């Protein structure tokens, strides 16, 4: 797990809150785990702390649904985890991303948290897709156009072309034009006959 996640625990029992934070830190010691104190107000607290993950008793009166919570706190990506014990039935956990039970083993909790963390990472990967403009530039690069020719074709400055190319390299982690060609063919940005004869 590459990312340092920030957790907020909202739980009245000291035993449960301390136990949970100990286990989370054992899973990954770069996790930040904080707990909302007694008498704290949920919405303002979350808006100030901006956690990645909220672990909360689903019966907490001021909670409402996770959907509404995300909306009100302006935290659209907040991962909501319900903490349940045997008395709190599963039916209250609708809309939550995950459920952790009082009786889950350490390994079960680890598995759940790692799954959530990797989901966080994939959603960040998603931002690495190329923009339409960048795709046009890839298509021209693999056809063998120089930066100057690309600039003329798209009516932008050579400097802008270079910036685009740098962003493309860093998004795709492809640094050679032969590598870019494979990417362009696989993603159907160009046809093979467009690039025949080009290096």
Partner 1 sequence: MMIQYGPHDKMCDLICEDHFMLFVLSRFGIPMGFGDSDIEEICKRNGVDVKTFLAIVNMNLHGEGTLPKVDKGLNPEAIVKYLHNSHDYFLDYRLPSIRARLLEAMDGEKDVAVVVMRYFDEYVAEVRNHMDYEEKVVFPYIRALVQGDSGIDYHISIFRKQHSDIESRLTELRDILVKYYTGKTGNVFNAVLFDIFTCADDLRQHNMVEDCLLVPLIELLEK
Kindly list the residues in this chain that would bind partner 1 in the complex (CB under 8 A).
Answer: 172-176, 178-179, 181-183, 185-187, 191-192, 195
Dihedral angle sign, alpha carbons of residues 73, 76, 78, 84: positive
Q: In this structure, what is the dihedral angle of CA atoms 152, 154, 158, 164, given to the nearest 10 degrees?
A: -160
The least CB distance from residue 147 to partner 1, in Å, is 21
Smallest distance from the beta carbon of 118 to partner 1, in angstroms?
A: 16
Closest distance of CB 185 from partner 1, Å: 5
Q: DSSP E strands: which ranges in the chain?
A: 6-10, 32-35, 53-56, 79-84, 98-101
The SS3 of residue 34 is: strand
Distance CA 194, CA 182 (A): 13
Provide the minimum distance between the beta carbon of 33 and partner 1 in the complex, in angstroms, as a whole number: 32
């Amino acid at each position: 797990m590459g990312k340092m996640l920030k957790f907020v625990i909202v739980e009245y029992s000291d035993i449960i809150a301390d136990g949970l934070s100990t286990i989370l830190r054992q899973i990954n010691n770069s996790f930040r785990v904080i707990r909302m104190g007694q008498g704290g107000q949920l919405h303002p607290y979350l808006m100030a702390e901006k956690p990645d993950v909220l672990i909360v008793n689903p019966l907490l009166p001021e909670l409402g649904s996770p959907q509404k919570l995300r909306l009100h706190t302006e935290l659209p990506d907040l991962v909501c985890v319900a903490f349940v014990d045997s008395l709190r039935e599963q039916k209250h956990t609708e809309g939550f991303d995950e459920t952790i039970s009082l009786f889950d083993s350490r390994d079960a909790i680890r598995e759940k948290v790692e799954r959530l963390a990797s989901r966080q990472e994939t959603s960040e990967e998603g931002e690495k897709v190329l923009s339409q403009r960048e795709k046009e530039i890839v298509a021209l690069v693999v056809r063998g156009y120089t930066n100057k020719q690309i600039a003329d074709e798209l009516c932008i400055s050579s400097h802008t072309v270079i910036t685009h190319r740098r962003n493309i390299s860093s998004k795709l982690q492809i640094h050679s034009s032969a590598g870019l060609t494979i990417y362009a063919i696989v993603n159907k940005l160009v046809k093979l006959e467009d690039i025949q004869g080009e290096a």
